[in-house]
Structure 1
Amino acid sequence: MKKNTVLLLLLIIGLFRANAQEKASFDKAFQKANNGKSRIEIPPLKELLHIMLAITKTGLNNDDMVNQSGTYYQDVLKHFKPYANEPIIKTFDSLLNVSLYNYIFISGNAMSYDFSGAKLKRNPNYIFPARGVANMVIETNPLDTYRKDIEAFANKSRFSNFYSQHKPYYTQIIEDYKSGADLEKQWKWLEKNFKTSINSYLILCSPLINGLNYTTEFKDNGFRQIVMVLPMLDHDPKLSVIQNELFNTRVMFSEIDHNYVSAPSDANKTAIDSVFKKRATWVNEKADGIYAYPNPIKVFNEYMTFGAFLIYCQDNYNKAIYAETRSNVISLMTARGFMKMELFISCLEQARMAAPDNKIDDLYPKLLELLDK
């Protein structure tokens, strides 16, 4: 059974980005260890919380929220479902019934603690990492509230044994990310082609993540880190190796480049408002989820997010692969309600061809001029 599908769709395309109220502390030691580096992790505490959420009544009945396919999910059920009636699981289920945002507030705040033996110890760098989603803000970290209950559940369910037994599988997922989507390659291209600079990237993954994935940013002491919570890479047997690579790259890239397109969009807001003021020209109001793009700059940014991905593909793949990817993105965007994607990318290609050495930020005025014709 699937619930709140539109909400999940919006989260998967990265619209509900965490509010700028999250708290982090990046001291000199943290900055030295992480500057210019990316990491992909499946942390024990976060995996435990995903498991606990998966065996709630809500999680068991929502295959958008929880990836219920594959051997790993069956292993989770076999090991942990006997503990589904524990009070903390029922508490988590009651929170999910209030709002599915509590999925993020529970699992997203896993960063604020680390396992130290059987106990949870405060993380010195991530103080309150998931405080706000969309218009919902919480004042108390749920892990502060339920820390003892989570410790007790981990001990009773023998979580550490389960995690250790599946460590080779977690390592395989991480290695698959490195080879199948190549975050470093995308990051390097974005830093070269935009004026924005990000210090560090962290991908937090779980075999149980499905539709509820998102991106947030932490800033402290002049240091910027992007954290992405993502599912495993997809490997569709009907697609070629390169087609799977492009699909997985697009999922990641369209999360990452939100952090690069927004600054030049803000700088050109007046022109964007003018060009995109006729909303019916740019979006199909009947498309599911289009209401989440209520103003010109949000509409433009979604076009630009996928436009930048196509320019990345143009730079990194041959003409035939680019043409196929271009067509697929236009079809995808049209289905989502952005029916002018072909016009948008044609104008972006034209603007870049006229000034190939310019940063994409500097192409905005010409792009908007072409779109306004």
Structure 2
Amino acid sequence: MKRLLFFLLFTTGLLRATAQEKVSFDTAFQKANNGKARVEITPLKELLHIMLAITPTGLANDDMVDQSTPYYQDVLRHFKPFANEPIIKTFDSLLTASLYNYIFITGNAMTYDLSGTSLKRNAVYVFPSRQVANKTINVNPLDTYRTQIAEFAKTSKFQKFYAQHRAYYTKLINEYESEASLAKQWKWLETNFKTKINNYLILCSPLINGMNYTTVFRDKGFTQILMVLPPLEHDAKRSKIQDEIFNTRVMFTEIDHNYVGPPSYANEKVIDSVFKKRADWVNEKADGIYAYPTPMKVFNEYMTFGVFLLYCRDHYDRSLYDQTRQEVISVMGARGFTRMELFTSTLEKVRAYAPAKKIDDLYPELLRSLAQKAP
């Protein structure tokens, strides 16, 4: 349950970009990236994940750091001899003060590019991670520790390690591009919702485990969705297509928050009315349900998973769909969302009556139907 709690904590709107977050999407950037999606394991971000992984906090926290892989053992063999470097002790003190510093450190990796052992300023991502939940920082930690990070990269021979594992990084990136079907998800969402997104960026690390998050960057009329995710999961007990559906669910239910949100806020008063009796919709004793304290947050979580099921219904055969439907209802029930069966069946019926409509336009009828069926 530890992994679930951290997943909830870092994926329920806690790192949504505001005016606090600073990016600069100039004309050249927009032209090069519009309509495109990419997956990256960047050198500087990987270096920072490694540095945090060998802190005492990282070594003791297998949710923050995936410690189950051969790659992790490679990291320990190469970098643990440098665990007493001053910058590692400094980073540990920051993690001890607040685990939000995990995001403030790794999330601001985008502000620099690692060239050899030098950190060079990135012109696009000026200060992309300034606020998490109710915590705001005014100084980028990479500005503060730039010299020490560069020195650690040199002392630890990070570039040699990165080069030795480049084929592995490429494999993980290729798996995302071939198995996670981001392009298919993106196309379906933009066909079925009114919201339009210009670009998707997935930043991955083999060391990421339960601390995943997503955010939105907007500048000069250009919108980019950033997702920070672990590698795709594979399970010998699942078929290839079942793996695809599982990994799609993890990504899709992050992506579609950006499409579900706008029509939800357009119908906020009705949502507040229909979902005001909290006990009718959630089990307050369920772990992690505290992360959804308002009617809007409860509805949006139901809706993101409901829309995922609509996507599956359009892309998989009936047997796979029925199996996925039951899994989602079970998972949501375990998380405290006790009316997923009711919500799903209602959404399915409303969609069946108007299959050509944008999902945004189904909200009024969906909410009317839910109000009539609610306990």
Q: 1:164 offset after TM fit, Å?
A: 0.5
Deviations 1:127-163 (A, max 9, x none): 0011111111111100000000000000000000000
Taking the aligned partners of 1:11 and 1:181, their CA distance within structure 2 comes to 23
**Correspondence for 1:151:** 150
SS of 1:65's equivalent in the other structure is coil
SS of 2:208's equivalent in the other structure is coil
1:17 corresponds, among 8, 15, 18, to 15
Is 1:189 the counterpart of 2:188? The answer is yes
Alignment of 1:62-73 (within 5 A): 62-73=61-72
**Correspondence for 2:333:** 334
Deviations 1:268-301 (A, max 9, x none): 0011011000000001000111111111111000
Deviations 1:72-104 (A, max 9, x none): 101000000000000000100000001111000
**Correspondence for 2:106:** 107
Deviations 1:30-79 (A, max 9, x none): 00000000010000000000000000000001000000011110100000
**Correspondence for 2:49:** 50
Tell me the amino acid that sits aligned with residue 16 of structure 1.
L
Taking the aligned partners of 1:219 and 1:315, their CA distance within structure 2 comes to 30
Contact 2:21 2:128 in 1 (8 A): yes
Q: 1:18 offset after TM fit, Å?
A: 3.1
SS of 1:372's equivalent in the other structure is helix
Q: Aligned Cα RMSD in Å?
A: 1.1
Under a length normalisation based on structure 2, what TM-score does the superposition of the two structures give?
0.97
**Correspondence for 1:277:** 276
Contact 2:4 2:210 in 1 (8 A): no
Deviations 1:280-336 (A, max 9, x none): 000100011111111111100000000010000000001110000000000000000
Q: 1:12 offset after TM fit, Å?
A: 5.4
Is 1:142 the counterpart of 2:132? The answer is no
Taking the aligned partners of 1:290 and 1:123, their CA distance within structure 2 comes to 38
Taking the aligned partners of 1:6 and 1:371, their CA distance within structure 2 comes to 28
Taking the aligned partners of 1:206 and 1:25, their CA distance within structure 2 comes to 25
**Correspondence for 2:120:** 121
Deviates more, 1:178-187 or 1:151-160: 178-187
Tell me the amino acid that sits aligned with residue 220 of structure 1.
D
SS of 1:255's equivalent in the other structure is helix
Q: 1:13 offset after TM fit, Å?
A: 4.3
Unaligned runs of 5+ in 1: none
SS of 1:215's equivalent in the other structure is strand
Contact 2:347 2:366 in 1 (8 A): yes
Taking the aligned partners of 2:90 and 2:150, their CA distance within structure 1 comes to 15
Q: 1:117 offset after TM fit, Å?
A: 2.9
SS of 1:64's equivalent in the other structure is coil
Q: 1:14 offset after TM fit, Å?
A: 4.0
SS of 1:219's equivalent in the other structure is strand
SS of 2:65's equivalent in the other structure is coil
Taking the aligned partners of 1:156 and 1:116, their CA distance within structure 2 comes to 15
**Correspondence for 2:228:** 229
Contact 1:344 1:371 in 2 (8 A): yes
Taking the aligned partners of 2:359 and 2:110, their CA distance within structure 1 comes to 34
Alignment of 1:323-362 (within 5 A): 323-362=322-361
SS of 2:223's equivalent in the other structure is strand
Taking the aligned partners of 1:145 and 1:18, their CA distance within structure 2 comes to 24
Tell me the amino acid that sits aligned with residue 59 of structure 1.
G
Taking the aligned partners of 1:77 and 1:141, their CA distance within structure 2 comes to 27
Q: 1:11 offset after TM fit, Å?
A: 3.5
**Correspondence for 1:169:** 168
Tell me the amino acid that sits aligned with residue 9 of structure 1.
F
Contact 2:282 2:338 in 1 (8 A): yes
SS of 2:369's equivalent in the other structure is helix
Alignment of 1:17-96 (within 5 A): 17-20=15-18, 21-96=20-95
SS of 2:217's equivalent in the other structure is strand
Taking the aligned partners of 1:116 and 1:78, their CA distance within structure 2 comes to 24
Unaligned runs of 5+ in 2: none
Tell me the amino acid that sits aligned with residue 78 of structure 2.
H
Residue-pair matches, total:
371
Tell me the amino acid that sits aligned with residue 68 of structure 1.
Q
**Correspondence for 1:306:** 305
Tell me the amino acid that sits aligned with residue 77 of structure 1.
L
Alignment of 1:208-287 (within 5 A): 208-287=207-286
Q: 1:252 offset after TM fit, Å?
A: 0.4
Contact 1:15 1:292 in 2 (8 A): no
Tell me the amino acid that sits aligned with residue 18 of structure 1.
R
